[in-house]
């Protein structure tokens, strides 16, 4: 049995394509089962990958598969990925990397260790890889070989952080966001911050911004109850998504990261907020894939808009 890793990331593909290739959490289980079943049928039956895992984050979509012949697996996997995400295979080819055997193992080690991240050494990717393994196990597509790969990958990442200085000098997207906000506003103690979402990335961002003692923080989420625990820990206000348009002008900094398939904030809402703020600057950081904030917002003179 052989390993094959197929994927694209922030090094190889533009954001617009990465958005289209992202797998929302709620579709991962059926997609993993579909991938495994598709590879186990038809002309590729004898080379079927009996194991599959999908790593889908803001910056990358990667499929880790196991089958009898890695070279034979590549095209069926690419075809399935294109069909699943409704993208033509030709559009994908120039952006994908296809890594068999040891190349795939080495890549997994680099990803888990933060060496392949947009922000070198960031630690969140390790947790995302662990979640990918758990999801594959739940879907029934994590066999012996992928289990061994992930366990060894996690050990290597731990060793890298324990025996090198990468962990000491790593800067997460959350802390990078704080530094950008400080470049714009200086001291953040008089600033109000709105967080949209309540997942792991937002929790990380709330923690980093809270350390700067902003004047006020609010967390808006589709399910306010989910945000309540995070808000309680940091003395933040909880909002529903429907409240954002009316209150957006009150916030100097907006950080968004949800799993929404559609934008949370449109150009019109941000324009109205800028007008109500009498054109005082806003900093908007969109960490979601697909984007939570319409990209046209970047055209506004009063908004410092950053996405990745």
Q: What are residue 52's phi and psi, to 5 degrees? A: -155, 145
Q: For CA atoms 177, 298, 302, 227, give the dihedral sign.
A: negative
Q: Is 247 helix (H, G, I), strand (E, B) or coil?
A: helix
Measured distance CA(86)–CA(278) in Å, rounded: 43
Measured distance CA(36)–CA(20) in Å, rounded: 21
Measured distance CA(139)–CA(31) in Å, rounded: 9
Measured distance CA(122)–CA(124) in Å, rounded: 6
Q: Which of 148, 158, 164 is nearest to 104 (CA)?
A: 148
Residue 257 a catalytic site member: no
Catalytic residue among 58, 65, 257, 274: 58
For residue 261, what are its two tokens? 């398939």
Catalytically annotated residues: 58
């Amino acid at each position: 049995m052989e390993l094959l890793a197929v994927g694209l990331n922030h090094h190889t593909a533009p954001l617009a394509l990465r958005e289209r290739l992202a797998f929302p959490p709620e579709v991962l289980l059926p997609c993993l089962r579909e991938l495994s079943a598709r590879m186990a049928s038809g002309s590729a039956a004898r080379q079927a990958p009996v194991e599959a895992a999908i790593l889908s984050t803001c910056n990358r979509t990667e499929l880790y598969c196991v089958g009898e012949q890695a070279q034979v697996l590549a095209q069926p996997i690419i075809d399935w990925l294109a069909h699943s995400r409704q993208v033509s295979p030709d559009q994908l080819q120039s952006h994908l990397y296809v890594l068999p055997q040891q190349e795939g193992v080495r890549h997994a080690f680099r990803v888990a260790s933060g060496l392949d991240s947009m922000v070198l050494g960031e630690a969140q990717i390790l947790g995302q890889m662990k979640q990918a393994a758990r999801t594959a196990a739940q879907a029934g597509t994590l066999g012996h070989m992928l289990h061994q790969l992930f366990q060894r990958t996690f050990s290597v990442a731990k060793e890298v952080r324990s025996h090198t200085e990468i962990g000491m000098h790593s800067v997460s997207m959350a802390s990078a966001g704080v530094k950008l906000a400080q470049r714009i506003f200086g001291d953040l103690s008089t600033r109000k911050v709105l967080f949209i979402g309540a997942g792991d990335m937002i929790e990380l961002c709330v923690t980093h911004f809270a350390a700067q003692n902003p004047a006020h923080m609010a967390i808006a989420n589709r399910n306010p109850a989910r945000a309540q625990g995070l808000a309680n820990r940091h003395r933040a206000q909880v909002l529903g998504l429907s409240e954002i348009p009316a209150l957006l002008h009150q916030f100097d900094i907006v950080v968004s990261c949800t799993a929404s398939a559609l934008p949370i904030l449109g150009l019109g809402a941000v324009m109205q907020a800028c007008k109500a703020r009498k054109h005082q600057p806003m900093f908007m950081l969109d960490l979601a894939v697909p984007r939570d904030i319409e990209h046209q917002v970047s055209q506004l003179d009063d908004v410092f808009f950053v996405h990745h």
